[in-house]
Amino acid sequence: MHILKAGGILMYVILFFGMIGLYAAIERFFYFALKERNNYSKLPTEVKHLLGKGDIKEAIVFLNNNKSSTSTVLKEILVYGYKENKESLSSLEEKGKEKAIEQIKYLERNMWLISMAAHTSPLLGLLGTVTGMIKAFQSISVHGTGDAGILALGISEALYTTAGGLIVAIPCMILYNYFNKKIDIIISDIEKTSTEMLNCFRD
């Protein structure tokens, strides 16, 4: 609490952005841990075997047991082909792309909040530095250099806000890049497995 008071009102704003970033990061951790832990990096041999036998319905049941984005896209392609009786590979491929775009929306949910916290916090810290130094120089112009306590208040506000902004921004930036990398891997897995499954129909 002392640090918040010493940093001035901007420290409370930085804390607010830190809480936003923390909320978004925790939500993303749980999402990837619970929903995306079993993504396929290649088409499961069970699905290949079922498709080889022409048993699309059983392949759909198998994929339905996994709620990951990759499995969801693969299942959607098969359901579309099975229910709509679509045999054209181009139509199946388009359906897969449509579903993949829909899944990306879930993968990237709340990522903008982490990005906002990462980019806004250091700017707020810099603003606090400027306002703190202005206060310090104003105290010098009014009281001279004799009152070190008043001068120290302005300087401490500048340093506290700078440190606060960086403390929020650095972990948010690390987490943003970490989650972005996970999203890239999942999207790559969707593309690879979808292509691999469509190739089963070409054989």
DSSP state of 42: S
Pick the residue with more confidence: 128 or 138?
Answer: 128
Answer whether residue 172 shows pLDDT above 80. yes
CA distance 124 to 200: 54
CA-based Rg of the chain, rounded to a whole angstrom? 26
Place of tokens 């990005």: 115
pLDDT digits (tens, 9 = 90+) for 142-158: 665 555 566 666 677 77
- Asked whether 163 and 9 are in contact (CB, 8 A), the reply is no
- Asked whether 160 and 7 are in contact (CB, 8 A), the reply is yes
Q: Which two tokens stand for residue 36?
A: 């995306």
Query: Which uninterrupted H or E stretch holds 189?
Result: helix 148-202
CA distance 99 to 70: 10
Q: Which two tokens stand for residue 125?
A: 């810290």
Q: What is the mean pLDDT of the chain?
A: 84
Distance between terminal CA atoms of the chain? Answer: 68
- Asked whether 116 and 17 are in contact (CB, 8 A), the reply is yes
The band of 111, judged by pLDDT with boundaries at 50, 70 and 90, is very high
Answer whether residue 136 shows pLDDT above 80. no
